[in-house]
Amino acid sequence: MWFQVAGIAILLVFYGCYFIKMISQHKKGIKTDQIGKGKVGFVKFVEITMKVVTYLVPAVEIVSIILNISFFAVPVRIVGVLVAIVGVAVFIISVLTMRDSWRAGVSKTDKTELVTKGIYKISRNPAFLGFDLMYLGILLMFFNLVLFEVSLFAMLMFHLQIVNVEEEFLLEAFGDEYLRYKKKVCRYIGRKR
């Protein structure tokens, strides 16, 4: 029962932050959800597939939590709680740090700034890192094959989004400023020498 309460609380805080940010930006006239909009070919495929899987994962997570399914022992599940909490914290900090430059997907029409301060000094993609850690934590708490497959697929789609969509967009939008930043900070975590 404790793991179920923790799992639901983690999902509520994580997705609560996500939707509160979207609503807040909507009130300012900012369209946060740019996934698949104005895109073609492989980029559109990546973004739309990523969007679909980000709806699928929480559905499978909720079913796994309700059924309290897990093939792991209590210590591993506790590690899962801690990893998920870190993921939620990383996500919230990244969203707050981005302020109104935060988007789901990329927008070639919105003018945003390249955020390189705060948590972005140690990760170029902390929001995605937060998603990955939260997914991994929930997976460790409620491990089952279906949750494993959809979580892994979602993390793969996030990676493809970063490598094939976001990095190209940032290079085009910010040029040398982004290249200098990319040379200093790792894609997921850490600083380069």
All structural domains of the chain with their residue ranges:
2-184
pLDDT in tens, 36-76: 666 678 888 888 888 899 999 999 999 999 999 889 999 99
Residue 108: predicted pLDDT: 66
pLDDT in tens, 115-157: 889 999 999 999 999 999 999 999 999 999 999 999 999 999 9
* pLDDT tier at 14, thresholds 50, 70, 90: very high
C-alpha 115, offset from chain centre: 16
pTM of the model: 0.89
Residue 72: predicted pLDDT: 92
- CATH of the domain spanning 2-184: 1.20.120.1630
* pLDDT tier at 7, thresholds 50, 70, 90: very high
Residue 106: predicted pLDDT: 61
